[in-house]
A and B are shown apart, each in its own frame.
Chain A
Amino acid sequence: MVNLTIDGKQITVSKTATIYEAAKEAGIYIPVLCYAKKLLPYGACRVCLVEVEQMKGRLIPSCTTPVTEGMVVTTMSDEIHKVRKTVLEFLLVNHVVECPICDKAGECDLQDLTYEYEVVTNRFKGEKFDLPTDEVNPLIERNMNRCVLCGKCVRVCDEIVGYGSYSFINRGFETKIATAFDRGLNCEFCGQCISMCPVGALLPRPFKFKARPWQLKEVDTVCGYCGNGCTITLGTKDNEVQTIRFNDKTGVNDGNLCIRGRFGYSYVNSDQKLTKPLVRRDGQLVETSWEEAIQAVADGFKAAGDNVGIVSGARLTNEELFLVKNLSKALGTENLDHSGGECYKGITEGLKATLGIQASTATFPQVENCDAILSIRSDFYETHPVFGMVVNQAIRRNDAKLTVVADKLGKFTKLPNARTLLHKPGLELNIINGICSVLLEEGLAKTDGLVGLDKLKKSLKKYSADAVATATGVAADAIKQAARELAAAENAAILLAYGLPYTAYSKELGIAAANLSLLTGIAGRQGSGLYLCGEKANSQGAIDLGILPGKKGLGVQQMFAAAGKGELKALYVVGEDPLVSYPDYALVDQALEAPFLVVQDLFMTATAEKADVVLPATSFAEKNGTYTNAERRIQQVRQGIKSKGEAKTDFEILQLLLQAFGTAAPATPAEAFAQLAVVTPGYEKVSLDMVGPQGYVWGGEILQPETRKLVSVVAGKALDSKYQLLVGSALYHSGTVSTHAKGPSAVVSEPYIELGREDAAELSLAEGDMLKLRTAGGDIKAKVKVDRRLPKGVFFAPYHFAALELNKIYTGQPVIAVEPVKL
């Protein structure tokens, strides 16, 4: 600790603090333009200049100067005022003063400082910037005429996002921020640069000219897309979500967001959302009243007796899921499941079998301090981008060693010093088994207290590094190196995302990752963690709440099979579009034909088209409740806007249904939370008051495994086909909902098939050509996207788009043999 004096105030701060940070902690105001809490000190703007007694003769930039013992700092004097004012005058020489048409006006740091320092005239004359604005990209408005060259966008894109789209180009007065070769912006469109920009140089285009900052009502809620659980602050006006506001004060994400969180909100305002309940009469879905719709549902379910299946989505709040569970009890059925069943088995069965728990063992912020990180599948960044940014910071700030077990390249593999174990598609298990075997062979494993070690050792004989290397095409040394790093690391993390397109080997991968976490001691160790991250906002909550088949109940796949055979008389699908997103179209399609089908959704989905009753529900922005994110963090979802038309929240609909079955339902989400906390393991001591700005992590920062059992898993074999298709998530989308949002759709609006350059050359395909993939199960066709991500012979198709009909050929297999035909 260091003692210093700022403006006559005695302050004690940590020795790593800068003068600015020390002053801020003491509540002393120093103006800044280029400083941001989460970025490294830079010192570009010279607005934060202060006087330091020991360094008389010049002014000191407070944001880059570390504190020293006995420092005496003055933050304001006539000279400082004059200098700061002069700095602002310099900035305003070139800065175009177009505040009336600049969307930043009202929250612009430069504007505020100009006002504060009363810069009404300028002693310097110069030419205003007259640079072309970036009108090409759909999401980020770049107007470099307003830039003050603080470099925050450059730094955030590099330090946090790890993409590096921007840099300074040219020299002197010509200096400006630009992309490579000064072309249009084409990046992840996470919009981090927008959130950092202190002026109006970078602005969200979807919000262009929509409203003024002071007109917006801000509501902190949790993003409804992935399991990362980022806090997003809705800026609402006229009962519409106008934009997502920057907020680094609450939540686990530190103000970081991805394209989906920052730009994927517009489906909330969509006028295509269902506004009235629909009931099928004479083969047609017709609008009806809520009373009739609920009556129709109740009649249908009663007719079906206990042969009812409930398929829930994982974007419902905990409270709603609790009511779903109650409804299943009221209906007397154990046929209850969520998210396509198979895909989350890694947690519910895999982790249960080994660690005895059903959740990730640690929290996201810990990863920043990890020394070694193993990401199973390169798609982790695509499914959980903001967690990916934490990994990037671990690498940049902490020199963490990242190993990516990858079937294709991606953002993670491009990070500095990332080791990519690029294997043949579908062979992740081999690699993990290989790493485990290296640990055991080299005696690096921490085997104390582990059950089933011998059995595992025996089974891992087949997976020696060399054997795995031959099978997967990954260098044996790399596997060994990865194993050694993981074992040697003080803090280490293993990341694995699951989701609808990653159904294959779900359970086995969960077990393998758990084995690895036990052998390396990661599971339950302070600072380390095994992260199995759900795809949807409340996947973890659904598992916690037990939206799972009961002992005699059927999972989703069995339900569909039973419904197809006519054994299941009624199906209740809440917030899911199985016809588009679930594997095995034929099975789902047949299942939805026969029984009494009730669909509860925001939009008229393909599944809803087949329903007998459609109940209009509302988005996350229209309801109150809690989500539990992939690190077990319970966070509050808050209502930002009122639901449109007659649509009701899932909570209200489930209340009505419960009442129709004569069961008492909790009156409010808060009441429901109190009730569910009692019956949900891990939530027993949680009350809503404890769910603060940073949420509440049930089970504590580190969740200790209940058992330490090693279970051997058998890996698959590589597919013998020249061309193979991988199914997965794309960065710009999450589930099927984001295809209704303008932001993500503006970047990726239609399905595509991605392939590497070599394949493209071989098949003489160019970007945008139509390609047909012929498979045993059927054909799919889409436009081609060519890049360097995919190894030769491997294609990739995202599962978000209904138009692709991907699930007609994807039935849950790890990889699909295809035959490309150019159209």
Chain B
Amino acid sequence: MFKELAKGLSITLKHLLPGNTTTVQYPKERLEIAPRFRGLHRLVPTQDREKCVACYLCPTVCPAKCITVESAENEKGEKYPRVYEIDLLRCIFCGYCVEACPVEAIEMTSAYELANFKREDFAFDKERLLKSQEGAA
């Protein structure tokens, strides 16, 4: 028993020595993001509009039911999402929406700093999603 106790103590003592910390000092240091990291969504734009054609596959496949799409017809008679909103408070970042999209209109950026002060700020509408950048909210 004493051997085990001593072993435990030696392990903790060893960790006390400098250089054993695994903490990343987050705001100052950052981990490298994996290429397939699933962060904030981004709607892919084309020249004059979003690539999304409001096919409703993403709200259908979304297990958290956090995507709201309302389709409409634009002046050219094309189908476009008049409303495209993701409620990040409900989103579980599973990436099914990206997988389901038939036109590759939605992708996930590496942006993960998504904290905010107001509830409304978590509702990402079309304009915000079109502007979302790699690595920044």
Contacts and interface: CB of A to CB of B under 8 A. Distances in A.
Contact of A100 (B53, B72, B73, B77): B53
Contacts of B137: none
Contact of B72 (A135, A209, A215): A209
A101 B79 contact: yes
A209 B54 contact: yes
A653 to B, nearest CB: 34
B8 interface: no
A210 B57 contact: no
Nearest to A133: B77
Contacts of A212: 55-56, 60
Interface residues of A, number: 13
Interface string A62-100: 000000000000000000000000000000000000011
Contacts of B132: none
Main secondary structure of the interface of A (DSSP, over half): loop
Contacts of B60: 212, 214-215
A650 to B, nearest CB: 33
Given A209-B79, A212-B60, A214-B60, A100 B71 contact: no
Interface string A125-136: 000000001010
Nearest to A211: B56
A208 interface: yes
A395 B88 CA distance: 62
B75 to A, nearest CB: 12
Contacts of B79: 100-101, 209
A245 B53 CA distance: 24
Given A100-B102, A100-B103, A210 B71 contact: yes
A2 interface: no
A133 B55 CA distance: 20
Contacts of A208: 73
Q: Which of A133, A208, A209 has the most CB of B within 10 A?
A: A209
Interface in A401-443: none
A135 B77 contact: yes
Nearest to B77: A135
B77 A101 contact: no
Contacts of A214: 60
Q: Which of A100, A135, A210, A215 has the most CB of B within 10 A?
A: A100
For chain B, the bracket of interface size reads 10 to 19
Interface in B51-66: 53-57, 60
Interface in A203-246: 208-212, 214-215
Contacts of B103: 100
A105 interface: yes
Contact of B71 (A99, A133, A135, A209): A209
A752 B102 CA distance: 48
Contacts of A100: 53, 55, 57, 79, 102-103
A101 B72 CA distance: 11
A208 B55 CA distance: 12
B78 interface: yes
B116 to A, nearest CB: 28
A337 to B, nearest CB: 46
Contacts of A215: 56, 60
A212 B102 CA distance: 15
Nearest to A208: B73
A209 B55 CA distance: 9
B56 A101 contact: no
A105 B55 CA distance: 9
Contacts of B71: 209-210
A717 B102 CA distance: 70
Nearest to B102: A100
Interface string B65-106: 000000111000111000000000000000000000011000
Nearest to B57: A100
Given A105-B55, A209-B54, A99 B102 contact: yes
20 contacts: A99-B102, A100-B55, A100-B57, A100-B79, A100-B102, A100-B103, A101-B54, A101-B55, A105-B55, A133-B77, A135-B77, A208-B73, A209-B54, A209-B71, A209-B79, A211-B56, A212-B55, A212-B56, A214-B60, A215-B56
- Top-10 shortest CB links A-B: A100-B55, A101-B79, A209-B71, A212-B56, A100-B53, A100-B102, A101-B53, A209-B79, A209-B73, A100-B103
Interface of B: 53-57, 60, 71-73, 77-79, 102-103
